[in-house]
Amino acid sequence: MNLTLISPELWMTLLSCVVLSIDFLAPQFSKKGLATLSIIGMALIMLHLVAMTWFGVQGTLFNTMFVLDPLAIFFKIFILFSTILLLLASLDYVDRLPHFQGEYYYLILFTALGMMFMASANDLLSLFITLEFSTFGFYILVAYLREDVKSNEAGIKFFILGVLAAALIAFGISLIYGDTGTILFYEIAKISPKISIGLVIGLLFIFIGIGFKIGAFPFHAWIPDVYQGAPTPVTAYLSIAPKAAALCLSLRIAFATLSDLKPDWVWLIAAISIFSMTYGNITAIAQKNMKRLLAYSGIAQIGNILIGMAAGTKMGSDAVLFYLLTYLFANLGAFVVVIIYSNMTQKDNIDDLSGLNRRSPLMAFAMLLFLLSLAGVPPLAGFVGKVYVFLAAVEQGLYLLVSIGLINVVISFYYYLIVVKKMYAVEPEEMTPISLSIPLRLVLYAGIIGVLWLGIWPKPFIDWSVSATHIFTHLMSQ
Amino acid sequence: MAQILFFYFGGMTVLSAIVAVATPHLIYSALSLLVTFIHIAGLYILLHAEFIAAIQIIIYAGAILVLYLFVLMLFHSKQEPRYLHRQLPVGIFLGLVLLGMMVLAAFRSEILGQIGTMNDKLGHTKAIGMALYTDFVFPFEMASLILLVAMFGAILLAGRTVRRKSDGSA
d(CA B48, CA B52): 9
How far, in Å, CA of A238 to CA of A291, rounded?
Answer: 12
Question: Which of A472, A308, A320 minimizes the C-alpha distance to A398?
Answer: A308
pLDDT of A466 > 60? The answer is yes
Give the number of A-B residue pairs with CB atoms closer than 8 Å. Answer: 74
Q: Which of A36, A111, A125 to mutate to test the interface with B (most CBs of B within 10 A)?
A: A125
Interatomic CA distance for residues B110 and B105, integer angstroms: 9
pLDDT tens column, A175-214: 888 888 888 888 888 887 777 888 889 989 999 999 998 8
Strand partners, A66: A61, A121
Q: How far is CA A134 from the centre of its chain?
A: 12
Residues of A whose CB is below 8 A from B142: 117, 126, 129-130, 133
Give the amino acid at A316. G
| Distance from chain centroid for Cα B118 | 25
CA distances B168 to A19, A143, A233, A326, Å, are 20, 23, 19, 35
pLDDT, position B163: 54
pLDDT in tens, B39-64: 999 998 888 888 889 999 999 888 88
Interface check for B159 against chain A (CB to CB < 8 A): the answer is no
Alpha carbon of A385 to those of A49, A129, A329, A388, A451: distances in Å? 24, 32, 12, 5, 11
CATH architecture of B1-83: Up-down Bundle (1.20)
Residue A379 preceded by cis peptide, ω within 30: yes
| CA end-to-end span of chain A | 38
Parse chain A into domains and list their residue ranges.
Answer: 261-478
B146/A129 Cβ within 8 A:
yes
Cβ <8 Å between B146 and A30: no
Interface test mutation site (partner B, options A100, A104, A107, A124, max chain B beta carbons within 10 A): A100
Instruction: Give the residue from A115, A151, A153, A149 showing the smallest Cα distance to A132.
Output: A115
Tell me if A210 sits within 8 A of A130, measured CB to CB. no
Q: How many Å lie between the alpha carbon of A97 and the closest alpha carbon of chain B?
A: 8
Mutate to test the interface with B, among A64, A99, A163 (most CBs of B within 10 A): A99
Contact A176, A202 (CB under 8 A): yes
The Cα of A272 is separated from the nearest Cα of chain B by a number of Å equal to 31
% of residues, chain A, pLDDT over 70: 99
- Looking at chain B, which residue has its C-alpha nearest residue A65? B138
Distance separating alpha carbons of residues A137 and B147, to the nearest angstrom: 11
**pLDDT above 50: residue B166:** no
What does the alpha-carbon distance between residue A457 and residue B61 come to, in Å, rounded to a whole number?
63
pTM score:
0.87
Predicted pLDDT of residue A448: 93
**CA pair distance B61, A336, nearest whole angstrom:** 49
B167 pLDDT band, cuts 50/70/90, is very low
For residue A164, pLDDT beyond 50: yes
Closest CA to A126 of B153, B148, B141: B141
CB within 8 A of B73, min separation 6: which ones?
A: B27
Residue A295 has phi, psi (to 5 degrees) of -65, -50
The answer to whether the CB of A19 falls within 8 A of the CB of A37 is yes
Say how far apart CA B139 and CA A303 lie, in whole Å: 31
Q: Whose CA is closest to B142, among A130, A3, A109?
A: A130
Query: Using a CB-CB distance cutoff of 8 angstroms, which residues of chain B are in contact with residue A100?
Result: 156
Q: What is the ipTM of this complex?
A: 0.85
Please report the DSSP string for A170-237 in residue order: HHHHHHHHHHHS--BHHHHHHHTTS--HHHHHHHHHHHHHHHHHHT-GGG-TTHHHHHHHS-HHHHHH
* Residue in chain B nearest A113 by alpha carbon: B145
Mean pLDDT of A3-32: 88
Q: Please report which confidence band the pLDDT of residue B108 belongs to, taking 50, 70 and 90 as the band edges.
A: confident
pLDDT for the residue A241: 92
For residues A278 and A267, give the distance between their C-alpha atoms in angstroms, rounded to a whole number: 17
Q: Which residues of A touch B156 (CB under 8 A)?
A: 100, 103, 107, 140, 144
Q: Are A86 and A28 in contact (CB under 8 A)?
A: no
User: Is there a contact between B170 and A30 if contact means CB atoms under 8 Å apart?
Assistant: yes
First CA to last CA distance, chain B: 75
Using a CB–CB cut-off of 8 Å, the residues of A that contact B are 13, 27, 30-32, 61-63, 65-66, 95-96, 98-101, 103, 106-107, 110, 113-114, 117, 125-126, 128-130, 132-133, 136-137, 139-140, 143-144, 146, 155
Q: Of A271, A333, A327, which Cα lies nearest the Cα of A298? A: A327
